[in-house]
A and B are shown apart, each in its own frame.
Chain A
Amino acid sequence: MLRGRRRMECTLDAQSLISISLRKIHSSRTQRGGIKLHKNLLVSYVLRNARQLYLSERYAELYRRQQHYPDGAPLLAMPACPPPAAAAPPELAALPLPADTQDREARSCAAARGGAELLEVPVCAAPPELQRAPCRDSSPGFYRAAGSAGPGGGGGGSAPPGLLYATGCDFGSGGAPHCSSRTTVLDLDTHVVTTVENGYLHQDCCSQCPCCCQPAPGLASPPPTPGTKRKYYPGQEEEEEGVEEGEPGGGGVAGGPPFAPCTKRARFEEYSAEHPQDSSNISNLISIFGSGFTGLVSRQQADSEQPLNGQLCSKQALASLGAWTRAIVAF
């Protein structure tokens, strides 16, 4: 059972739990007698729990690494499964109950990003100002401004809209931010990043999810230019079909039109207000499963009709974070 094992194995189990759960939901659609609402609801709870633990693991790991690299130098290849995070905050170790996940989800966005990526993942954990400054190194995997910001946004002090950066400020143990005057959160449902700094808001758009941030055509694997933050996402090479998302302009269209939602979605919001779950902005499970799991299975696998690959599937599932904020819905 999971509780007795080391944290690393817990994370692995979380991944396999997620893939098992997805498989169950998928197979329930073809079972005789129709979809069992009760069973699918319970499976969705397991999914949510596994995801929360998984994200908290990644989050804690990234935090731990940031402790080692406070100057914001990017991490080298992040293993897909981080070693046990000794510094995992207790509240993250415990599985949070659904009611209080909002903030936690927001703070764990960087972990989510880290967790969602197969290859190198940088975490620029420095405060926003530093991150807006040119990054010193140019190794691949910078966070790239999505959408209209483009890779050429380059250095300079002003952050192009849509810049993405880690919420390093939120990595404090127990949730206390590093920078007491600044807190950054990412809303996982709308992918809106909000920074509160000395009383006024910065609003940036974050579109980590590969499903919602496809590269613009012609921009596939562009070389990182110095000073830009680049977002890396696993779908870049495989070009998986995006998950349909409920929100307008939510992108996620299968390999299709370039995604430029960030500017559309950049808007100011109050930091403290837990904004109501706008159903149109939520990538809910209905839409995911309504799309026949295309968003969760890579095209290669779908073609070869292999059973869902646990690793890949779950990572992509984790990447589509907004989907898991709700219990599954049937009909």
Chain B
Amino acid sequence: MAGVAGGGGGGGSNDFQWCFSQVKGAIDEDVAEVLKHLDLLYTLQRYFISVLFTADIISTVEFNYSGDLLATGDKGGRVVIFQREQENKSRPHSRGEYNVYSTFQSHEPEFDYLKSLEIEEKINKIRWLPQQNAAHFLLSTNDKTIKLWKISERDKRAEGYNLKDEDGRLRDPFRITALRVPILKPMDLMVEASPRRIFANAHTYHINSISVNSDHETYLSADDLRINLWHLEITDRSFNIVDIKPANMEELTEVITAAEFHPHHCNVFVYSSSKGTIRLCDMRSSALCDRHSKFFEEPEDPSSRSFFSEIISSISDVKFSHSGRYMMTRDYLSVKVWDLNMENRPVETYQVHEYLRSKLCSLYENDCIFDKFECCWNGSDSAIMTGSYNNFFRMFDRNTRRDITLEASRESSKPRAILKPRKVCTGGKRKKDEISVDSLDFNKKILHTAWHPMENIIAVAATNNLYIFQDKIN
């Protein structure tokens, strides 16, 4: 059931800066100041109580271009779209509240008979298309198939048909004595989702990314070894633009982990690899972009080498900044911001949970080391956010270099509750309210987060719960 909704402060769009940069003083005071501006909006629990708990795990979260719609995909192949309530004089506090707008089953489990494998219905990614008319379009993908969905509203229906009754029964044509023109009458709003295109059979390996091009006509889809370019109107063919499959699979040393189009240059895209490298490709240079235009890699620090060096350097997400000047990558322990003009090292590195470095062995045993965390920019590219364990998520202010750790939990999910910053005790004496590394719950992980494109509203997916936080300006 929908959780309790708390009204947001309705802060104007002019003032959407975090207060990080405006506060001076001791760290604690800074944090306290920040906290005043963070407001828990509400908690939303998944609608469907499924027999299989896992079917409800949220696997992707994405705001649309205006931020009015928020789409989530889950492990059961469902897509749930939330819409932000418009300002309403009769309900002044409901401004900014996100409610369920549409729900549909996007993908079903399939079986590949040739390979005898089951194809999971889990939605790996959702990407919105820019809105061009009254309807909304999004792309959703599982491991093998991408679908273009049209979400449209219907608030009128036709009445007065000649050939059928109001309840739908066909009339006997001989009984019709007069003709009438059907008229449109208002009805309760109905939101329909219909699949308009199905892009299938183009990927041998598991799709990990889709990205809509700035030309709004094409998009790319990336699997472990290949990237394909599609036209939104054409489903029966795609162009392969990157192929890193070696002739001899025994020589495989890396896979593609994420890919994204540049936000402004429709010929430029990047893809990250499991080796911690990012390649920027220009589609104008050649049809097959196996040769990169730029190669981003930070030299490994040999003193930190361990059994798991390869795993923790694997990039799990790559995102361009809104400006298009930077890109951000997430590996297991850190987030890095790269300037597109500098390939040899990132310009900024933020440690997400460095205290886990000594725990890599157990994290390997329980498979947590393979978790793929995503990261996101805020609308002005001044802050970045990513998730961690114990339902913690982290925000970093790029200007002041301040960071904060927050928790998405039901205990603190009271309307308008101010979020308390969290701190993990890494050693020595544990202060009050600190959590020791050993008491972290590694089953509670926040892999998917999204930031409203313009306002300070964030969506955080904690397993099967979606939390939406909004800042509140007094």
Q: Taking beta carbons and an 8 Å cutoff, which residues of A are in contact with B?
A: 1-4, 13-14, 17, 20, 24, 32-34, 36-39, 41-42, 45-46, 49-50, 53, 94-95, 98, 277, 279, 282, 284, 286, 326-331
Contact = CB atoms under 8 A, between A and B. Distances in A.
B120 A32 contact: yes
Contacts of B115: 34, 331
B108 interface: no
B308 A282 contact: no
B250 A34 contact: no
A34 B257 CA distance: 17
A34 B117 CA distance: 6
B364 interface: yes
Given A41-B274, A42-B314, A95-B305, A327 B252 contact: yes
Contacts of B117: 33-34
Interface in B203-254: 205-206, 208, 224-225, 248-254
Given A33-B120, A41-B254, A330 B370 contact: no
A17 B309 CA distance: 14
A46 to B, nearest CB: 5
A94 B206 CA distance: 34
A14 B359 CA distance: 15
Contacts of A32: 118, 120
Interface of B: 112, 115, 117-120, 122, 143, 205-206, 208, 224-225, 248-255, 257, 274, 302, 305-311, 314, 357-361, 364-365, 367, 370
A20 B310 CA distance: 17
Given A33-B118, A94-B305, A329-B249, 17 more contacts: A1-B357, A1-B358, A2-B361, A4-B358, A17-B307, A36-B206, A37-B224, A38-B255, A41-B255, A42-B274, A42-B314, A45-B311, A46-B308, A46-B364, A49-B310, A95-B307, A279-B248
A14 B306 CA distance: 11
B255 A37 contact: yes
16 contacts: A1-B359, A2-B307, A34-B115, A34-B119, A38-B314, A39-B370, A42-B274, A42-B310, A42-B370, A46-B364, A49-B309, A94-B302, A95-B307, A95-B309, A277-B250, A282-B250
A42 B250 contact: no
Given A41-B274, A42-B311, A327-B252, A2 B370 contact: no
Contacts of A330: 249
Contacts of A328: 252
B246 to A, nearest CB: 9
Contact of A41 (B208, B248, B252): B252
Contacts of A41: 252-255, 274
A98 B248 CA distance: 17
Contacts of A42: 274, 310-311, 314, 370
Contact of B361 (A1, A34, A279, A329): A1
A46 B120 contact: no
A279 B250 contact: yes
Nearest to B308: A46
Contacts of B206: 33-34, 36-38
Nearest to A50: B307
B250 A326 contact: yes
Contact of B307 (A33, A46, A329): A46
B118 A327 contact: no
Given A46-B310, A95-B307, A326-B251, A33 B359 contact: no
Contacts of B251: 326-327
